Amino acid sequence: MRYGMAIEINKCVGCADCVVACQTENNVPIGYSRDWIIEKVKGQYPDVFLHFESQRCNHCDDTPCVRTCPTGASHVIEGGIVKVTQDECIGCGACIEACPYDARYFHPDGYVDKCTFCDHRVQDGLDPACVAVCPTTCMHFGDLDDPDSDISKLIRKRENFTLLPEAGTAPQIYYLK
Amino acid sequence: MSNFNRRDFIKISGASAAGVALTPKLSGVFQNFFQKEGKHLLESDAVKVPTVCEVCFWNCAGWVYKDQEDNIKKIIGNDDDPHSNGRLCPRGTGGLGMYYDDDRLKKPLIRVEKEGQQSFKEVSWEEAFDVIEKNMKAIDKKYGKESMALLFHGKTGPHFEHLFKAWGSDTMGEPAGAQCLITREAGFIATYGAGLASPEPTDVRNADCLVLIGNHIGENMHNGHVQEVSTLIDRGGEIITVDPRFSTVASHSTTWLPIKPSTDLALLLSWMNVLINENLYDKDYVEQYTYGFDLLAEHVQKYTPEWAEGVTTIPAADIYKTARIMGAAAPKTIVHPGRHTAWYGDDTQRTRAIAILNALLGSWGRKGGFYFPEKLKLPKEAHPPFPKPKWSWKDISKKKHKLAIMGITNEILDNALPEYKGPHKVKGLFIAATNPLQSIPDEAKIKRALDNQEFIVVVDTMPSEITGYADVVLPEATYLERLDHLRTAHHRQPNVALRYPAVMPKYDSKPGWWIARKIGLRLGLDDFYEWEDFEEVLDWQLKQVGSSMEEMKKEGVKLFPRNTPMYLEDGEEYWFNTNTGKIELFSTDLDEWGYDPMPVYKSHGDVPAGFLRLIYGRLPMHTFGRTLNNPNLNDLKKEPNLWVNPKVANIYGLENNQEVWLQNPKGKVSSFPIHVRITERIRHDSVFLPHGFGNKGRIMVNGKVEEMSRTYGRGISDAEMISNIEIDPETGGTGMRNNFVTILTEKPTKTEEKS
């Protein structure tokens, strides 16, 4: 079992529904977010290219955030989901420094918070809130270890990229062109 | 009420506000709610209440999820709902912020004068109704009931329409007409004998080619349509987007045509020219179902792609190419009618050109084109016949505009001006869930009309510009706290959806139906309100169609079988609701009424030297001014940017994120600054401004400022900069896209408008 996400950038409209759905699902305080939208524009008028990326923790295979955590609050659970145990987190911020994706933030209640792939939903067989809400259905969640899963087939079939592969963390969110 | 100058009042309150410390942005219940950490609301623990979203007019059905303590935690789409298919857009998902917003109107307010200063005082509902009763009766006595006009929007509207019709005034209109889609409805009615209404019955999910002209799907989150466009991308379909801006959907399109703004009709006519001259149109369909083809064929001969290139700046080769793509995919080609079509003052003609193009492609009534929608017929509750008013909105607008199919807000306001000397004077306004100062153009004129009123009531959930002009302000409950009419909008399948209150109204707010009924009883309209709770009406209605409140509270949405086919059968006899019974390429009605029977291209002139065209549009996370302060949606986008091309930035010496002001050709300077976004995504002759920002509504209540604190003063209001309004002769709709601005890099010393 290895959870991952595939996001079709040819369909995403950058509406930020994933952001607000995550906030309400996970009680993320206003002013903070576990996921966010990046707009990328290339070219010169009228030959312009644009795409949006819905970004979040990449739930990497090689996790500098977990390695640097002095208390063991940052850890990996089944399926490769990277989590933070709130009670064990001392808010030192080492993991925030270590993450090449800037995917973690200080929660005002004094701990570090981040995307959990909505593991509380996944346990019930549901998609993460961001995936479930997306009006364009550009986001897909599933088991990368299962060659027959929809997400594995999509990644095989479509040209794709990951963010900052050079950081060497083996990110598990794939952007499909 | 006293005869004061309301514009002065705004200035007074603005000035007094300068030294007032505003409440922190996060306070009270709202903060507590979001900082309650750790506990996720699991499906099994959730209490679910059906709702119909009111954050925009798409009215998606969904479920409000509450925890066991009655806290609204989230809103999720209803899987059975054809508007949302179980997936709400960001505004619907963030809709709970409409409820939690602590800047909401909280208590009924009446205007009072103390030591020469105007202010509001909090009063009880009964005291507010006393003032309303006294003043509506006074206007009736002095001028007649007809002189009290209603401006409205959304699902709040029908409660007050009922009240006004029962009382005896049919002087009413909604900005959703003249400022938005009336011209499109008129253009399609003149062609097919049928309008499009909402949601537009475009069969995008089965189309092979979609043409978007000035329609930024994906930035306008017309939910079901955004979803269907996504399926078209999946299927590798053609998307041709015509837009001076590289919109989001332009980036997902197979072709982007960056047209010179205001020349769209030239492109549409030249496409007709190619389809006809290259025999790409659907001959059988045109022969069987249309009227006036030969006249049209002759009419469009002069509109060659080569001619259109000079007008639109789109290369003729691209016009040929795209026409051929459209023709090859026909009838599964949709030239989308758009929605906000109040652009240049000849908008019925432009949208008619779109209707005609679709007829040539044979897409109307065809799979992958436009389907025939069906709507559930819901019987209306019994009441005595409405009294017949001596005059109505029709007397104001119907004689001037034969295709004014609904009240024309801007002309209702013309009759509210002091210089209006005719027989149909408007002397009082009842304004429900709309903010005319942003939704209807010509702020200076509207302010003069407001100053000239003897009585103004505002019903809304949030304070806005218009609130400051009211004599009585009534706080309406948000859609999450109230019951409204059942949603029965047409679709592929007839359906009904219920909005049920998920929680009790916060503060001292009340549902629209309750407010309207109470006023009705004050005005002696007891016969029109034989029910006590609006739920009784809905239950009765539902029972007439084999359902009930009990069932709908569980289901939220119920689908009904169709009675007629969704598409034309091959060669089927079909009678269109026009004079000829055919799709009128040559409109006999328009001809008879003295309008162009076929669209004629007319230049709208060039951008004046030293100016840029003002293009406005949507951001996907906001709808109108009143969504901007929603804490959840505000968090997604607090402030708009002014889009400028790098060439323009160079001329003005602008840097990214620099603060600038705008000035229009009449000298009006924006009240607030805006940050520049330098981007290749827009032509060099235009700037883009997202709609609804630049809020400057502040009211004084018991000596304290109330306002939309998260959005007050952020960005520039497009409505404020629009000074040139070109009236569409057929409908009275307000063309608002022939407007220009220049960029000021220094803070102007004076931002108030010269009166």
**Nearest-CA distance B149 → chain A (Å):** 37
Q: Output the CA torsion A102→A108→A113→A118 (10° steps).
A: -120
Of the listed ranges A134-143, B7-16, B223-232, the least confidently predicted one is: B7-16
Residue B6: CB atoms within 10 Å: 19
Helices (H), B628-731: 631-636, 646-652, 718-721
Structure token digits, residue A36: 């966010």
Q: What per-residue confidence (pLDDT) applies to B38?
A: 54
Average pLDDT, chain A: 96
Calpha distance B257→B325 (Å, rounded):
14
Q: What per-residue confidence (pLDDT) applies to B748?
A: 81
* DSSP 8-state secondary structure symbol assigned to residue B154: G
CB proximity A35 to B under 8 Å = no
* Residue A5 near residue A141 (C-beta atoms within 8 A): yes
Return the residue of A nearest to B216 by Cα. Answer: A13
Question: Which of A43, A46, A138 is opposite residue B258, by nearest beta carbon?
Answer: A46
Question: Which of B40, B248, B636 is opposite residue A13, by nearest beta carbon?
Answer: B248
Per-residue pLDDT, averaged over B368-380, amounts to 97
Structure token digits, residue B45: 């623990």
Question: Given strand A3-8, what is the order of strands in its sheet?
Answer: A139-143, A3-8, A173-176, A160-161
**Nearest-CA distance B363 → chain A (Å):** 25
User: Collapsing DSSP states into helix, strand and coil, what is residue B553?
Assistant: helix
Domain range summary for chain A, segments of one domain joined by +: 3-176
Tell me the HSE value of B307 on the side-chain side, using a 13 A CA sphere. Answer: 16
For residue B441, pLDDT beyond 50: yes
* Residue B132 near residue B138 (C-beta atoms within 8 A): no
> What is the band of B599 on the pLDDT scale with cuts at 50, 70, 90?
very high
Kindly provide the b/e burial profile for residues B413-426, where b requires at least 16 CB atoms within 10 angstroms of the residue's own CB: bbbbbeebeeebbb
Contact between A107 and B684 using a beta-carbon 8 Å cutoff: no
Domain A3-176, CATH class in plain words: alpha beta
- Residue pLDDT, tens place only, B290-310: 999 999 999 999 999 999 999
CB proximity A132 to B under 8 Å = yes
Tell me the HSE value of B212 on the side-chain side, using a 13 A CA sphere. Answer: 32
Opening angle at CA A124, ends A121 and A127, nearest 5: 45
Of the residues A8, A26, A27, A105, the best mutation for testing chain B's interface (the one with the most B CB atoms within 10 Å of its CB) is: A27
Is 0.90 surpassed by the pTM of this model? yes
Q: B64: which residues sit within 8 A by CB, 6+ positions away? A: B48, B49, B50, B51, B72, B75, B96, B480, B502
> What is the band of A57 on the pLDDT scale with cuts at 50, 70, 90?
very high
Q: What residues of chain A, 97 to 126, have a C-beta less than 8 Å from chain B?
A: 107-109, 120-121, 124, 126
Residues of chain A with C-beta less than 8 angstroms from the C-beta of B251: 48-51
* DSSP 8-state secondary structure symbol assigned to residue B485: P
Which domains does chain B possess? 36-100 (2.20.25.90), 109-178+399-559 (3.40.50.740), 180-370 (3.40.228.10), 612-744 (2.40.40.20)
Q: A35: which residues sit within 8 A by CB, 6+ positions away? A: A18, A19, A22, A54, A55, A56, A115, A130
Q: What residues of chain A, 14 to 33, have a C-beta less than 8 Å from chain B?
A: 14-17, 19-21, 23-31, 33
**CA nearest neighbour of B364 among B184, B211, B567, B575:** B567
How would you classify residue B436: left for phi > 0, otherwise alpha for psi between -120 and 50, otherwise beta? alpha
Q: What per-residue confidence (pLDDT) applies to B750?
A: 61
Q: What per-residue confidence (pLDDT) applies to B118?
A: 84
- Residue pLDDT, tens place only, B209-219: 999 998 999 99
Question: Which class for B316: exposed (0-12), middle (13-18), buried (19 or more C-beta within 10 A)?
Answer: middle
Q: How far is CA B744 from CA A162, B692, B747, in A?
A: 42, 21, 7
CB proximity A127 to B under 8 Å = no
**Nearest-CA distance A136 → chain B (Å):** 5
- Residue pLDDT, tens place only, B326-343: 999 999 999 999 999 999
Of the residues B26, B31, B40, B656, the best mutation for testing chain A's interface (the one with the most A CB atoms within 10 Å of its CB) is: B40
Cis peptide bond prior to A46, omega within 30° of 0: yes
More confident residue, B20 or B738: B738
For residue B416, pLDDT beyond 50: yes
CB proximity A6 to B under 8 Å = no
Question: Which of A43, A48, A134 is opposite residue B87, by nearest beta carbon?
Answer: A134
Residue found by looking up tokens 């935690």 in the block: B73
Question: Which of A29, A51, A86 is opposite residue B251, by nearest beta carbon?
Answer: A51
DSSP calls for chain A = --EEEEEETTT-----HHHHHHHHHTTPPTT--S-EEEEEEEEETTEEEEEEEEE-----SS-HHHHH-SSS-EEEEGGGEEEE-GGG-----HHHHH-TT---EEETTTEEE---TTHHHHTTTPPPHHHHH-TT--EEEEETT-TTSHHHHHHHHS-EE-S-GGG-S---EEEE-
**Nearest-CA distance A44 → chain B (Å):** 6
Q: What is the CA radius of gyration of chain B?
A: 26
For residue B111, pLDDT beyond 50: yes
**CA nearest neighbour of A21 among A11, A9, A33:** A33
User: Collapsing DSSP states into helix, strand and coil, what is residue B740?
Assistant: strand
Q: Which residues pair with B674 in a beta bridge?
A: B660
Return the residue of B nearest to A15 by Cα. Answer: B620
For residue B136, pLDDT beyond 70: yes
Q: How far is CA B169 from CA B70, B88, B173, B388, B514, in A?
A: 41, 37, 12, 8, 20
Q: What count of CB pairs under 8 Å joins A to B?
A: 141
* DSSP 8-state secondary structure symbol assigned to residue B712: B
Calpha distance B47→B699 (Å, rounded):
37
Report the helix count and the strand count for chain B, using DSSP H and E. 27, 28
- Residue pLDDT, tens place only, A3-35: 999 999 999 999 999 999 999 999 999 999 999
Calpha distance B693→B14 (Å, rounded):
18
For residue B753, pLDDT beyond 90: no
Of the residues B58, B66, B67, B93, the best mutation for testing chain A's interface (the one with the most A CB atoms within 10 Å of its CB) is: B93
How would you classify residue B615: left for phi > 0, otherwise alpha for psi between -120 and 50, otherwise beta? beta
Q: What per-residue confidence (pLDDT) applies to B13?
A: 30
Question: Which of B93, B230, B645 is opposite residue A133, by nearest beta carbon?
Answer: B93
Residues of chain B with C-beta less than 8 angstroms from the C-beta of A17: 87-90, 93, 620
For residue B9, pLDDT beyond 50: no
Question: Which of A16, A19, A41 is opposite residue B681, by nearest beta carbon?
Answer: A41
Question: Which of B34, B90, B620 is opposite residue A27, by nearest beta carbon?
Answer: B34
* Residue B332 near residue B300 (C-beta atoms within 8 A): no
Give chain A's length. 177
